[in-house]
Amino acid sequence: MLKQFFGKTGHESSRILLGAAAFSDVTQADADASIELSLAAGLNHVDVAAGYGDAELRMGDWIGRHGRPFFLATKTGERTKEKAHDQIRRSLERLKVDHVDLMQLHFLTDPVEWEIALGPGGALEAVIAARDEGLVRFIGITGHGLTAPVMHLRALERFDFDSVLLPYSFLMSQNAAYENDFRSLLQVCQEKNIAMQTIKSLVQTPWGEAKQDRATWYRPLEDQVAIDAQVHWVLGQQGLFLNSVGDIHILPKVLDAAERFIAAPNFQTMQAMVEEWGMRSLFE
């Protein structure tokens, strides 16, 4: 498994991060099997969140029995200092740890919520206080949607975050405006040594009228060749991390793809894949 330093944290993280959103509604046995499969493949960085159903509980149960041989990140979706203060401590209890490596402000792209969370009495103040108490080592911010890169750039002007997280895939790179914003953010992150995490790499289409039979909130690619292409394309972009898919049944295919990564496919290959699978972006 390829590794690189996770920004300025000093931790050499696997470039594939275990996206524990996949554990939001699974049995402990299934979560255990997925964690152990991931560790065996070389993953050493887990990303979870307070808002991912039972995911923190599943991780905490495993950690309680095996310890924590990985970089552990979670997220608070609260916007005010008081509520974030309480949620941070609840996450530590659920995870059965006395601190986490990374606490992220979750899904922060709405301008009103952004201003509340990053303003006086906002959630950022609670995370900074938790860092000062030794409950949190590093601080990040995450976002969804087409405005995520611009909102993250604004956030980095206000606070020196250690990491950012946002959607990115070949399909999203073909949106010229989004690609331009993403590259602007990437340049700033590289200049400031800020870790850049990507999500939603395996989107085939929105669910639409299709029967939702996967845990992901989009219809994911499931063919191994298609997954290979998407994973290899993201890993071929210098400096990016890829959060694994939010469904335990597809996770092994992502790990398999990562193990065989050599280089990113060319544009023609990727464009042909988009057409073959009828791929459509989640974000219009």
Q: How many CB atoms lie within 10 A of CB 204?
A: 21
Provide the token pair at 176. Answer: 């010229």
Tell me what pLDDT residue 211 has: 85
Whole-angstrom CA distances from 85 to 75, 91, 151, 155, 271 are: 12, 10, 23, 20, 46
Distance CA 206, CA 121 (A): 37
Cα dihedral angle (161, 231, 282, 213), rounded to 10 degrees? -120
Residue-range domains of the chain with CATH = 3-202+235-246 (3.20.20.100)
Residue 209: the pLDDT is: 80
The amino acid sitting at 75 is K
Query: What is the pLDDT at residue 284?
Result: 76
pLDDT at 165: 98
Distance between CA atoms of 83 and 105, rounded to whole angstroms?
12
Token pair, residue 242, equals 């890829």
Q: What pLDDT does 271 receive?
A: 97
Q: Which DSSP letter does residue 207 get?
A: -
Instruction: Give SS3 for 219.
Output: strand
**Under a CB-based contact definition with an 8 Å cutoff, are residues 258 and 1 in contact?**
yes
User: Mean pLDDT by 10-residue block, N- to C-terminus, for the chain (284 residues)?
Assistant: 96 98 98 98 98 98 98 98 98 98 97 98 98 98 97 98 98 97 98 98 92 90 97 97 96 98 97 96 87
Q: Is the pTM higher than 0.95?
A: yes
